[in-house]
Structure 1
Amino acid sequence: MNTKTNFLLLMVLALFLSGCQLNGPKDRYNLAECKKELLTAEDYSEADAIDRIVVVKKERKMYLYKDGKVKGVFPVSLGKNPVGDKQQKGDYRTPEGEFFIHRKLCSPKYYRSLCISYPRPEDKARARARGVNPGGNITIHAQPKWNADGKGDQYTLNRNWTQGCVAVTNSSMKKLWYAVREGVPVMIK
């Protein structure tokens, strides 16, 4: 093969490995666009703001509240081992308790994520007493890359497949992205 062919093959391989997709829809995990939206997200309507999120694991639903009233309900997927509170890294459980959104994240893997404040000091202390790692990086995130177009939503929402996170559809995440600010309380029960 000649140098030009080698270069093209390396570029295609680099794009593949980096998660970029050629000729994909404009909204498909475009990190630059996501980060731009993160910076301009202050342009949201206060009327659409959410001031509390409640995830009921048994129902596999997320309730969005404003001023004590339910403003929306989204179906969710949970960790592969959904029963009970998260005990340690790798147990595939979704943590339970009171948390808050501490960061918004543009993700090449899951479109967008809202990071929750797990592990809390009490989670760390409980894990330390057991001699285990409490785990971390628990988020409310959107769909994996293969489901960027949403055609697999029915499949993903009928299963608990995450490593302990709460997953919603990409269309639900778009609504959450603008309605939720850092500091919003999250109850998972």
Structure 2
Amino acid sequence: MRCCRPFTRFAQALRQPPRQRHGAAVALAALLVLTAPLAGCASKPEPTVRFVDSVLVRKGDRTLQLLHDGDVHREYKIALGDSPVGHKFEEGDERTPEGDYVLNWRNPNSNFHKSIHISYPNARDRAFARAMDINPGGMIMIHGRPNWLTSPAVAREYDGRDWTDGCIAVKNHEMDEIWRLVRDGTPIRILP
């Protein structure tokens, strides 16, 4: 490698008589100071992701993935509604919807540690609800734990079970990261 050649020369200089070695040591010190910014010159730093371009939820696996260019950038364990199996059809069924939606607005002052709204019900959900003469519900969010929850022991209990009314819940520090990486208008796909 090109950036390692000076070190090869230094190794050769160490084989010289003691008086000549002193000059090599001084040269090495100068070399290290001058090349320190080039450390790791053989590889480029990984690009940082400022925003993700989609979100994928797998209800059965209890995971939420943030995707960038089709690759998983981050993955979180999630909690769902008290009746997590199946698509949400009406208000109060405590199910999380399934399908394609958009994360369309956010609330920094919600009853939970931040919340990002999922665009449920979409046109298909509303048409089905009209045909069945039911209220499809709404206000489905990705959010953190309840704001009143301050006990670490109780928080651990929340993290290990489904407890929402149909929303998708994560730990508070994870919600902070999601909040930072997901822009309004980001598509979300929720799979069974």
State the TM-score, normalizing by the size of structure 1.
0.72
Letter in 2 for 1:88: E
Alignment of 1:137-176 (within 5 A): 137-148=139-150, 152-176=154-178
Alpha-carbon distance, 1:48 to partner: 3.1
- 5+ long unaligned stretches in structure 1: 1-44
1:114 aligns with: 116
Which structure has the bigger radius of gyration?
2
**Residue of 89, 92, 105 corresponding to 1:90:** 92
Superposed CA RMSD:
1.7
Matched residue pairs, number? 145
State the TM-score, normalizing by the size of structure 2.
0.71
Maintained 8 Å contact 1:119/1:135: yes
Alpha-carbon distance, 1:166 to partner: 0.3
Structure 1 moving runs of 4+ over 3 Å: 148-153
Maintained 8 Å contact 1:79/1:160: yes
Q: Tell me the alpha carbon deviations over residues 42-97 of structure 1, each in whole angstroms, 9 at most, x when there is no partner.
A: xxx97231111111000001111101110111010001000000010000000000
Structure 1: how far apart are the matches of 2:150 and 2:116?
A: 17
Letter in 2 for 1:117: S
**Residue of 132, 135, 141 corresponding to 2:134:** 132
SS of residue paired to 1:118: coil
Alignment of 1:1-189 (within 5 A): 47-148=49-150, 152-189=154-191
- 5+ long unaligned stretches in structure 2: 1-46
Aligned-residue sequence identity (percent) comes to 38
Q: Tell me the alpha carbon deviations over residues 166-185 of structure 1, each in whole angstroms, 9 at most, x when there is no partner.
A: 00110001001111101101
